[in-house]
Amino acid sequence: MKSFFTTAACIITLAFICVSCNSNSSESKQEVAVPKDSSGRKWWKEAVVYQIYPRSFKDSDGDGIGDLKGIISKLDYIKNLGVNAVWLNPIYTSPNDDNGYDVSDYRNIMKDFGTMEDFNALLKGMHERNIKLVMDIVVNHSSDEHEWFKQSRSSRTSPYRDYYHWWNADRGKPAYRYSLFDINHDAWRYDSLTNAYYLHYFSRKQPDLNWENPKLRQEIYSMLKFWADKGVDGFRLDAFGFAAKDTTFPAWPSGFEKDFMRYYAMGPHLHDYLKEMNAEVFSKYDVMTVAEGTGNTLQDAHNLVDADRNELNMAYPFEAVDIAKKEGYSLLHFKQVFTKWDSTFADKGWLAVFLANHDQARMVSRFGNDKPEFRDLSSKMLNTFILSMRGTPYCYNGDELAMTNAGFNKIEDYNDVATLNEYQHQKNIGGDLKKFMENVMFSCRDNGRTPFQWDSSNNAGFTTGKPWLKTNPNYKLINAASQENDANSCLNYFRKMIKLRKDNAVLVYGKYTLIDKDNPDVYAYTRELDGKKFLVLLNFTGKNAIVKTGLDLSKAKVLINNYAATSITESLKPYEAAVIEL
């Protein structure tokens, strides 16, 4: 599956897979009909995952960078959201070329974020509050400052040489490989020390690990066990779809990079690696595992996550998040994509449902409407959607407040390695930098990484120092403190919607049926389980809209409505959202 994030004129595509957890231990006491998939009920299917970008969440020591103590200080806030799992972006030692996605020590904590003692306290604090912790595992590549890479590059005969992909220059130049983050988009970097090229699908400081090497694989499994033994509850595998490679590095047709996912995702032996990882690690712990992407086809997705495959268990598909463009998007397309994924996974496998993460610009700016008159309504509508679909909802920090794109118009205000390198690339080739910046302002992932807006004090209460990335100037208006005591706030609506999901298994496991399919303005569907039937109505436009449900709504009970209406008709107000019991 794909994740795109646009940097300027080019769309960068990231492929990732979803990992599975092999937990058999959380069958519930309550009798609920579940999909035919033999895996049945699981805690991770019933969880609501809150994704925290640690660098931007809360700074405890005034250095301008979020940290673990900062997260600890906000555990009650997280608990009060009602979420029961947290996915933390990487917190390991890293030189931060790609904000922690370049790990130089997998068993230690990044200095900026704190210490292992802080981590232990965080995990304990989460568990005391019944919140599970999902770690981000970056093992398609490491940092070039990892000891393995330092050893590997030191000589052609180093025992670590085969931990990475090297091509000796005596053989000539290797066949072209596309790099997502390199200034020249060339994934082979020449290193004069041993007169050889190393492979890096991402930045030059992110050399790809060689999964063909069984020693490397054992190192990774042992590292996963290190964290599982500490008691973490899950793993999210970063970019793992890229891990398996044909190490003969054959030439690919010219222009392959325009469709590089076809070549990069689901390489040879990927399923073998996942089965091995499952047998060696996941099957031994009650952990949930999820990774990015689902390969190239729906069948790939099933092959990765169906319970009987013993690989992964939750597919994290990017097809839907990729359809939002600066010019807008078609709701018909959006509905078609979500409906296709749901029906493909109706009986087997399990899906993650999300509209944002740390690689995307803000949900309300991309899929809703961030103009003042519609921001709250459309944000509540989108959260109603995520939290009423079948699959495990993933909510990105700040989206509960309707945080918006900052849209900085100067390149100096950006930090993202992909954006900065692409800017340089466009400059080098004489590209249209004005157009590039227009795209960046709308879709750069730094829009989703500006500091969390806690209150109206300096820098949104995120830090007492200078924040590593500028705060969105709208923090005086949009912040958690001001929403806390407002019953109609986005924050309180989000809490209510989570409670509704947690109280009603129909929203987790119920059959999904799209209705009024060709309605270009309204997304309507029912969820059904054990004689219970809920109807979800979502007006995706800033005008009144009519929906034709074909259902008798006269006795319907409104369970939640973003206009606080207690009755419902087929005429919906702008961005109106409602969940109704029929």
Q: Which of 233, 322, 359, 400 binds ligand NOJ (CB under 6 A)?
A: 359
Assign 173 to helix, strand or coil.
Answer: coil
Q: Give CA–CA dist 4/223, Å, rounded.
A: 29
Region 492-531 residues binding ligand NOJ, contact defined as CB under 6 A: none
**Gyration radius (Cα) of the chain, Å:** 23
To the nearest whole angstrom, how small is the minimum distance from the Cβ of residue 363 to ligand NOJ? 16
The phi and psi torsions of 32 (rounded to 5 degrees) equal -135, 135
Shorter beta-carbon distance to ligand NOJ: residue 182 or 238: 238
Shorter beta-carbon distance to ligand NOJ: residue 240 or 282: 240
Q: Give CA–CA dist 371/576, Å, rounded.
A: 16
Region 230-269 residues binding ligand NOJ, contact defined as CB under 6 A: 238-239
To the nearest whole angstrom, how small is the minimum distance from the Cβ of residue 77 to ligand NOJ? 24
Name every residue whose Cβ is closer than 8 Å to that of residue 300 and which is 6 or more positions away in sequence: 265, 266, 294
Shorter beta-carbon distance to ligand NOJ: residue 196 or 243: 243
Q: How far is CA 73 from CA 57, 58, 126, 231, in A?
A: 11, 8, 11, 21
Name every residue whose Cβ is closer than 8 Å to that of residue 216 and which is 6 or more positions away in sequence: 162, 163, 209, 210
Q: Give CA–CA dist 437/41, Å, rounded.
A: 46
Q: Give CA–CA dist 26/11, Å, rounded.
A: 41
Query: Dihedral of CA 226/135/45/487: which sign?
Result: positive
Region 6-35 residues binding ligand NOJ, contact defined as CB under 6 A: 14
Q: Give CA–CA dist 260/241, Å, rounded.
A: 12
Q: Which of 98, 300, 306, 342 binds ligand NOJ (CB under 6 A)?
A: 98
> Using the 8-state DSSP alphabet, how is residue 463 labeled?
-
To the nearest whole angstrom, how small is the minimum distance from the Cβ of residue 52 to ligand NOJ? 14
By CB under 6 A, is residue 338 in contact with ligand NOJ? Answer: no
CA-nearest of 374, 392, 428, 298 to 540 is 374
Shorter beta-carbon distance to ligand NOJ: residue 415 or 513: 415
Shorter beta-carbon distance to ligand NOJ: residue 5 or 575: 5
Q: Which two tokens stand for residue 271?
A: 């399923």
Please say if 238 is a catalytic residue: yes
By CB under 6 A, is residue 315 in contact with ligand NOJ? Answer: no
To the nearest whole angstrom, how small is the minimum distance from the Cβ of residue 72 to ligand NOJ? 24
To the nearest whole angstrom, how small is the minimum distance from the Cβ of residue 65 to ligand NOJ? 17
Name every residue whose Cβ is closer than 8 Å to that of residue 229 and which is 6 or more positions away in sequence: none
To the nearest whole angstrom, how small is the minimum distance from the Cβ of residue 202 to ligand NOJ? 5
Give 377's Cβ-side CA count (13 Å radius).
19
Q: What is the dihedral of CA 444, 258, 97, 20, to 10 degrees?
A: 90
Shorter beta-carbon distance to ligand NOJ: residue 200 or 335: 200
To the nearest whole angstrom, how small is the minimum distance from the Cβ of residue 477 to ligand NOJ? 28
To the nearest whole angstrom, how small is the minimum distance from the Cβ of residue 136 to ligand NOJ? 8
One-letter amino acid at 438 equals E
Q: How many CB atoms lie within 10 A of CB 547?
A: 24
CA-nearest of 401, 438, 377, 435 to 578 is 377
Is 153 in contact with 168 (CB distance < 8 Å)? no
By CB under 6 A, is residue 112 in contact with ligand NOJ? Answer: no
Q: Give CA–CA dist 371/374, Å, rounded.
A: 6
Q: Which two tokens stand for residue 23?
A: 């937990």
To the nearest whole angstrom, how small is the minimum distance from the Cβ of residue 60 to ligand NOJ? 24
Give 264's Cβ-side CA count (13 Å radius).
30
Shorter beta-carbon distance to ligand NOJ: residue 306 or 399: 399
To the nearest whole angstrom, how small is the minimum distance from the Cβ of residue 358 to ligand NOJ? 6
**Could you give the angle at which helices 270-280 and 214-230 cross, rounded to 10 degrees?**
40
Shorter beta-carbon distance to ligand NOJ: residue 4 or 534: 4
Shorter beta-carbon distance to ligand NOJ: residue 322 or 359: 359
The phi and psi torsions of 235 (rounded to 5 degrees) equal -135, 140
Measured from each CB, the residue nearest to ligand NOJ is 101
Q: By CB neighbour count within 10 A (0-12 exposed, 13-18 middle, 19+ buried), where does 26 fall?
A: middle
Beta bridge partners of 581: 534, 557
Find the catalytic residue in 97, 233, 238, 400: 238
Shorter beta-carbon distance to ligand NOJ: residue 55 or 380: 55
Find the catalytic residue in 59, 292, 399, 400: 292
Q: How many residues bind ligand NOJ (CB under 6 A)?
A: 10
Name every residue whose Cβ is closer than 8 Å to that of residue 273 and which is 6 or more positions away in sequence: 211, 217, 243, 244
To the nearest whole angstrom, how small is the minimum distance from the Cβ of residue 289 to ligand NOJ? 15
Shorter beta-carbon distance to ligand NOJ: residue 203 or 388: 203
CA-nearest of 12, 98, 7, 13 to 437 is 7
By CB under 6 A, is residue 101 in contact with ligand NOJ? Answer: yes
Per-residue mark of binding to ligand NOJ, 125-144 (x: CB under 6 A): -------------x------
Q: What is the dihedral of CA 241, 246, 247, 249, to 10 degrees?
A: -110
By CB under 6 A, is residue 202 in contact with ligand NOJ? Answer: yes
The catalytic residue positions are: 238, 292
Q: Residue numbers of the site for ligand NOJ (CB under 6 A)?
A: 14, 98, 101, 138, 202, 238-239, 292, 358-359
